[in-house]
Amino acid sequence: MGKTVEINPTTRHEGHTKLVLKVDDDGIVEKGNYLSVTPVRGFEKFLVGKPAEFAPIAVSRFCGICPIAHATSAVEAIEDACGIVPPKDGLLLRELTGLGNKMHSHPLHEFLIAPDFIPEKDRVEYITRIQQMRKTGQYIVDTIGGEAIHAPNIKVGGMLKSITPSAASKIYYKCKEFEKLAKEQVEYLIPIFENRTLVDGTEIPEKLGYHDFGYLATDSTYGNRENIEQKKVHEYTPYDVYEKEVAVQACTTIPRYNGRLMEVGPRARFAKFHDFKEKGAMAIHIARAYENVIHVKRAMEIIEELNVDGLTRAKDPILGDGEKLGLGVHEAARGHNTHQASIDEKGRITYYNAIVATTWNIPLIGKAVEGTHYKFAEHVVRAYDPCVSCATHMISLDYDNKVVNEKYFK
C-alpha cells in the first residue's frame, strides 16, 4: 500500500521547507519532493525602475547568510550589462570578501550538523574551533566589505576603497590561524563521514543521497561567466514538475541546464576542479571540509598579490542600453549563484532575475532522498546546507490559502 510521509518543517538550515515523501511498506522513499514554503519577498519586482547602484544593496538583504554572494553577483551582472571592467585590485578585494563569507558560512554548517555526528565529549573543543574560524571569516568581510553582513564597499565598478597595509598583514595572520584550524577540522571530520555512522551509532546507508544528475560550477573560489552557457538555463514552474497538491505549496522555480537537474555547491566544485569522484550525502560534507582549506589558501594568495595602493573602482558611467542582459556569476558557499540585469540609458534597472544556489539544489534534494528509508531524508537535506530564503522567488497562495495568478502555473 505505501503511504505519504511529510516532514514539516525540516530543521537546522536557513528558511522554511518540508519534505513530502511517498514511501513503500518498508519506509523506503519511492518519490521524494523537497519544497520551499518560505514567504516570497518580491525583490526582483521592486528593483525594476530603481537605480542600478541600489541592486547590490537590496539583494544582499535576501538573507543574512549569503549577502556577499548576492551583492557580488549583482554588481557583476550590472557591470556586464554596462560594459564596465573593474580594475584588478578591486576584483581581488571583491574575491577576498567572498572568501571571507565562505570561511564564515562553511564552519557554521559544521556547527549545525554537530548533533548528528559529534560525540558529546568532543563538542566543546569542536565548537570552539568552529567559532574561531567563523570569527576570522567575519573579520575579513568586516574589514574589506565595510560591515560584517551587508557590506557597503561592494560597488558597481569594483570596491569603494582598499585596505591599509596593516589590515592586510592582520588578515594574513588570521588566515594562517584559520588554515591550522581548518586542517584540524579535516583530520577530525573526514573519518567520521567516511565511517558513515551517526553519533548514536546508527549506520548511514552507503548510497544515501546518490543521484545521477550533473554538476554545475564555474570556478573553484570566485565565479566565471565564461564557463557557463546561460542560454542553456531554463526555469520551470512547480506545476511543470510536481503534482498539483505539492506544486501549489512550492515557492521556488526549478532550473535546469540543458534540460537536466544540476547539483551546485562544494561537491560540484570539487568534481569540476579537483577531480573528486565520491558520491552521496557524506561526500558533500567531505568536500565542504576540504574547501575550508582551499578557501583560506586562496585568501592568502590574494593578500600576497594585492597592491593596497592600486585602483579599486572603474570610473565608467553606470549606463546601459536597456536591452543587453548582463550576467553575474559567483560561487557562493552553497554553489553557483547567478543574477541577471538590464540597465537603461538613464542607469535604471529594466529587468532583474536571480537563480541562486539553493534554487538549483531544491529539486535535486527531493530526488536524492529516493531509494533509502525516510528517516534518513533530513540528513540529505542538511548535507546540502540549503539557504532557502535566498531561493524563494515565486508565490502561489494568498493569505486565505487560495491560489493566485494560477495562469502562470498552467
**pLDDT tens for each residue of 218-274:** 999 999 999 999 999 999 988 888 888 888 888 888 999 999 999 999 999 999 999
Predicted model pTM = 0.93
Calculate mean pLDDT across residues 103-117: 97
Could you read off the pLDDT of 7-49 as tens digits, one per residue? 999 999 888 899 999 999 999 999 999 988 887 778 888 899 9
| Residue 1 confidence (pLDDT) above 90 | no
387 assigned ligand-binding residue:
yes
The chain-wide mean pLDDT, for the chain, equals 93
**Looking at residue 68, what is its pLDDT?**
97
175 assigned ligand-binding residue:
no
Which residues are within 8 A (CB) of 200 and not within 5 positions of it... i.e. 6 or more apart?
none
44 assigned ligand-binding residue:
yes
84 three-state secondary structure:
coil
Calculate mean pLDDT across residues 203-232: 96
Could you read off the pLDDT of 55-92 as tens digits, one per residue? 999 999 988 889 999 999 999 999 999 999 999 999 99
379 assigned ligand-binding residue:
no
Q: How far is CA 16 from the centre of its chain?
A: 16
**Looking at residue 396, what is its pLDDT?**
54
234 assigned ligand-binding residue:
no
C-alpha 87/C-alpha 143 separation (Å) is 20
Nearest to 185 by CA among 117, 135, 129, 132: 129
251 assigned ligand-binding residue:
no
**Looking at residue 62, what is its pLDDT?**
87
**Looking at residue 409, what is its pLDDT?**
40
